[in-house]
Structure 1
Amino acid sequence: MAQVYTLLEPFPFTILDVSTLLVFLVTFGLAVRFLRGKRPENLPPLVPGGWPLVHHLPTLFKKDFRLQVDQWAREFGEIYRVNIFGKEIYVVSGYTALKETMEKDEISTRTDPKLGATLGGHDILMAPYGEVFKERRRFAASVFRRLGVKMGRGSIQDQIQEEATSICGKICGYNKKPFDISSDLTTATGNVICALVFGKRFDYGDTRFQHLLTTMENLGAEVARWEFPFITYIPGLQDPIAGTRFYSKKLQQFIREEVDQHRLKLDPENPRDFIDYCLLQLAQQDGEGTWLKEENVVYIIQSLFMAGTDTTAATLTWALLYMVLYPDAQQKVQAELDSVLGATKPSLAHRDQLPYTTATIMEVERIRHIGPILFGRLATGTTRLRGYDIAEETFLLLNLRSVHMDPAAWPNPDVFDPSRFLDADGKVVNNPDSFLPFAAGRRNCLGEQLAKMELFLLFSTILQHFALKLPVGAPTPSTTGIFKSLSMGPAPFKLCAVSR
């Protein structure tokens, strides 16, 4: 009769059993090593310590991860490794290292499990780097120029000025009472994108437009839930992007309705907006294997709203907050506006005549970078970076905060000081080192020119018409910043606007 062992009895291992187990473990380890390929020998330093299984994750959660990755950069250098659930992530910091990273083809593919799974690489924002991406980006940039995202004649300046007038009217309606400016700024920047993409703006109270804004706000909130860049490595999360997918589909439905309406009214000889140019391009291609299909059009427009609405609105919200916190700077901006413009409407032609105003916007972009940690990058081939070997499929995080808060480049970086961007003659220092508000390299911001136009015209128009201050007795707003969407914006605060 066979012997039966209980759980309380020790199983009788023999020398042969132990030998067999050891052979299996060694063989398994060698097989894993072989299948993974040869590990690069010249690796960046690994942050020491860590917890069992989760490794460095608790340390990153213990305090603001933006500050933690900066602290590690000071300790371990411009490139170092962290370990999350056994997955190594390379963190790149510092102006020189980031510039080199951004200019490498092998590290120009964005990867983000949250957005990548939703967009599927169908757009420009998250599409893998390659010929298809380049074609889509070249096309979009060309259409932007045709639609007036440029200096000189035929500029989209008129639409932005119209929006600046509209938001000033909305601010007047608050009648000096405390209000939250952030939602109105989102409405204004959303309308600029609508003018570019749909060929029209919406009244602030338009029900359909408000539905669009609410959908974008909810989509941004869902994305913000997973903004912590290491959380996607936590096992067991059940469909973490379900909310993102839901609101993305709602936004896409809105876009498809606009595309259908445009198709009915399309005049090939007189394209009116981004959708019209896309429809003309689709008609020219009409074949398999093309770089633009109708599905791409919907996803590209979605990413234009995602990347072009909240980002500019967040920067403007920071700018107005700093004007409230630094009334001396606000008065300097307004004195310059009064001296140069008087009652004249601000225009892009005035930028060179308003250096302090321009420098103030640049200082806001520096001190409160809305994307302190940029989208992760995935190495699509082996390469070298700052002397280190980077293996294929290495995941890298780009720490932009380290550039804008580098004390070597910006003395006393926590101090708000627009004069940093002025030379000895009081002129704006263009393209300074250690200043990358729109990133750089292969995937720099497609909408950089449009954002600069909006920031200057909306900010200068609001400051020309209103003196901004905190409500009486209100606490001083925080400048720490929170992620309400893809961008880091101020925590909610209220201000009062008095007509000048």
Structure 2
Amino acid sequence: MFECTSTLSLAVVLVILLLTWMYFNIRRPFGMPPGPTPYPIIGNVPTLIGEVPPWNIFKDTTFKYGPIFSVKFGSFWTVVINNFELAQEALLTKFNDFSGRPYSYNFHWFSDFGQNIAFAQPTPIWKSHRKLALSAIRKYTMESLENLIGEVMPKVTHVISERADTPFDPKEVITLAVYNILAFMCFGKNYEFKDPELLQLIKISDERTDALGNGTLADFIPAARVLPSSSVNRFRKASLEFFAIILIEVNRHLKAYSPDEPAKDVIELLLKAQNDEMETDSSESKLTDVHIKQIIADLFVAGTDTSTSSLLWAVACMIDNPDAQEKIKKELDDVIGDRPPRLSDRGKLPYTEAVIMETMRFGTTAPLGLAHCAIKDSTIGNYNVPTGTGVIINTWALHNDSKYWDSPEKFKPERFLDSTGTIKQRLMSFLPFSTGRRVCVGQALAKAQIFLVFTWLIQNYTFEKAPGVTGDVAIAGKPMIVNFTRPYQTVAHPRY
């Protein structure tokens, strides 16, 4: 009898301890926004890794909890912002408070433990390297991008001609074009479209993106990091192959680089900055070989997936909206005729620009962006946000807020034009590249690249639905960090 009583007492104590632990595990810190109750240990992780896009779930959650709420991903509390006013507060008014990045198991490893730009904490070294990357982007956007696209587009013509008037997946040709542009900018290489090295670069990048999805359990639950994970293994294998290509290019440049000659690509620009730093014995930025590798990786990752996604959405929206496609063609014919588009044409093609902007709203490329992190105790709205709390801006919710967008589910380029037919200057609830201190470093490059490639495609081809296809083709695909369209086919008819 005594042993049974002791066993029962022990069981009761263990249950009480377990329930107490569970209570404290899911209890929100004082003053944080309300939100859905998290599960013990895993929290609200199923929201991120399910089949339903998390940005849709977050927007629906606002109907119960309001535009700001909190969730727990494994061990980490996160605040999710779903409207423009609170996003402005976090990103602009209190940009210093929320300029950090939360810990991510996979991204921490990928960035050589925080030595890149995208995932590094806001230190003086990060600021110096960010300036360097922006300088490189400005230089090659203004000086080389038009000529480079002029060299790449004939290759696009060749590929599309091989599929003349027959259905094909535009992702292949768009991906080849975008990767070639970035490879030339970073490596000084102008690949042929069938070059095995270019195809391998695209293959491993696709593998890396697909393996990561919207994150793995290891990113949110420390205990999961000791368990086998095919997703983590695939991500690391593809990433190592990607880094190997970058290092081969850096070493190739080192053999031929001369600091006395003008930099011909981003690697040479970085090597020159590193050489200048060594000569001045600067202790502020310390541009190491690892930093060079990571800056190149940042530019490639930021400039390929997002631009490819945006262009795929743009072509899909033109297929679904032939009237808009015809208006662009007329504007292009009237303003630039049959010569190639130039960056200086921006401002002269308001309807074309409105279509590109509406595409970025309608098919938001980075629906949740990159999460921020509170680096000090702060507030958003009426709620406390303790140090270390993640902050997610649901850009998709901002871009579909009926307060700012009439019938947001519809594709309406005119919403970006004022009564005189010019582009609106003040755009509320529109943040395709985020804003503030952590605004996308590749924004200028992405805008220029998308403008030049898209206008060239519409100038030279008419895109239609493949025979037998009914319904819209501009539909989101598998939920991932980058929001790609569902795979679709089109028929491209040459205009000239």
Aligned-pair distance for 1:98?
A: 1.3
Give runs of aligned pairs for residues 155-304 of structure 1, distance below 5 A.
155-224=144-213, 226-227=214-215, 232-233=220-221, 236=224, 237-239=227-229, 240-269=231-260, 270-286=262-278, 290-304=285-299
Determine the structure 1 residue equivalent to 2:89: 100
Determine if contact 2:45/2:73 at 8 Å carries over to the other structure.
yes
Determine if contact 1:168/1:462 at 8 Å carries over to the other structure.
no
Question: How many residues in Structure 1 have an aligned counterpart in Structure 2?
Answer: 479
Q: Is 1:311 paired with 2:325?
A: no
CA distance in 2 between counterparts of 1:144 and 1:368 reads 25
CA distance in 2 between counterparts of 1:378 and 1:81 reads 13
Q: Is 1:66 paired with 2:55?
A: yes
User: Which letter does structure 2 place at the counterpart of 1:203?
Assistant: E
SS in 2 for 1:389: strand
TM-score (norm 1): 0.88
Aligned-pair distance for 1:228?
A: 7.5
Correspondent of 1:124 among 117, 120, 136:
117
Correspondent of 2:334 among 318, 335, 339:
339
SS in 1 for 2:71: strand
Change (3 A) 1:401 1:163: same
Measured against aligned partners, the alpha-carbon deviations of 1:331-372 in whole angstroms (never above 9, x if no partner) come to 111111112222122111222221111100000000110111
Change (3 A) 1:271 1:245: same
CA distance in 1 between counterparts of 2:365 and 2:217 reads 15
Change (3 A) 1:85 1:217: closer
Range with bigger deviation, 393-402 or 232-241: 232-241
Determine the structure 2 residue equivalent to 1:443: 438
Aligned-pair distance for 1:59?
A: 6.5
Change (3 A) 1:65 1:365: same
Change (3 A) 1:336 1:109: same
SS in 2 for 1:375: coil
Aligned-pair distance for 1:284?
A: 2.8
Measured against aligned partners, the alpha-carbon deviations of 1:207-229 in whole angstroms (never above 9, x if no partner) come to 212111212121122222x4489
User: Which letter does structure 2 place at the counterpart of 1:238?
Assistant: P
Determine the structure 1 residue equivalent to 2:422: 427
CA distance in 2 between counterparts of 1:292 and 1:91 reads 35
Determine if contact 2:71/2:80 at 8 Å carries over to the other structure.
yes
Measured against aligned partners, the alpha-carbon deviations of 1:148-201 in whole angstroms (never above 9, x if no partner) come to 323xxx352211232233323321221111000112111111111112111222
Instruction: Using the aligned pairs only, state the percent identity.
Output: 26
Q: Is 1:321 paired with 2:321?
A: no
Determine if contact 1:469/1:497 at 8 Å carries over to the other structure.
yes
Structure 2 portions without partners, runs of 5+: none
TM-score (norm 2): 0.88
Q: Is 1:139 paired with 2:132?
A: yes
CA distance in 2 between counterparts of 1:456 and 1:12 reads 73
CA distance in 1 between counterparts of 2:38 and 2:186 reads 48
Aligned-pair distance for 1:312?
A: 0.3
Determine if contact 2:180/2:190 at 8 Å carries over to the other structure.
yes
User: Which letter does structure 1 place at the counterpart of 2:275?
Assistant: A
Aligned-pair distance for 1:396?
A: 2.1
User: Which letter does structure 2 place at the counterpart of 1:282?
Assistant: Q
User: Which letter does structure 1 place at the counterpart of 2:266?
Assistant: F
SS in 2 for 1:241: helix
Aligned-pair distance for 1:64?
A: 3.4
User: Which letter does structure 1 place at the counterpart of 2:424?
Assistant: V
CA distance in 2 between counterparts of 1:457 and 1:41 reads 50
Determine the structure 1 residue equivalent to 2:447: 452
Aligned-pair distance for 1:327?
A: 0.8
User: Which letter does structure 1 place at the counterpart of 2:235?
Assistant: T
Aligned-pair distance for 1:494?
A: 0.4
CA distance in 1 between counterparts of 2:460 and 2:194 reads 23
User: Which letter does structure 1 place at the counterpart of 2:172?
Assistant: S
CA distance in 2 between counterparts of 1:436 and 1:316 reads 17
Aligned-pair distance for 1:399?
A: 0.8
Measured against aligned partners, the alpha-carbon deviations of 1:414-448 in whole angstroms (never above 9, x if no partner) come to 01000011111111113511111111011111111
Correspondent of 1:466 among 461, 464, 468:
461
CA distance in 2 between counterparts of 1:357 and 1:13 reads 74
Determine if contact 2:477/2:487 at 8 Å carries over to the other structure.
no
CA distance in 1 between counterparts of 2:158 and 2:135 reads 34
Determine if contact 1:376/1:397 at 8 Å carries over to the other structure.
yes
Q: Is 1:89 paired with 2:78?
A: yes
CA distance in 1 between counterparts of 2:428 and 2:337 reads 34
Determine if contact 1:176/1:497 at 8 Å carries over to the other structure.
yes
User: Which letter does structure 1 place at the counterpart of 2:153?
Assistant: A
Determine if contact 1:359/1:428 at 8 Å carries over to the other structure.
yes
Determine if contact 2:320/2:474 at 8 Å carries over to the other structure.
no
CA distance in 2 between counterparts of 1:366 and 1:289 reads 39
User: Which letter does structure 1 place at the counterpart of 2:391?
Assistant: L
CA distance in 2 between counterparts of 1:469 and 1:409 reads 31
Q: Is 1:115 paired with 2:107?
A: yes
CA distance in 1 between counterparts of 2:175 and 2:156 reads 10
Aligned-pair distance for 1:313?
A: 0.7
Structure 1 portions without partners, runs of 5+: none
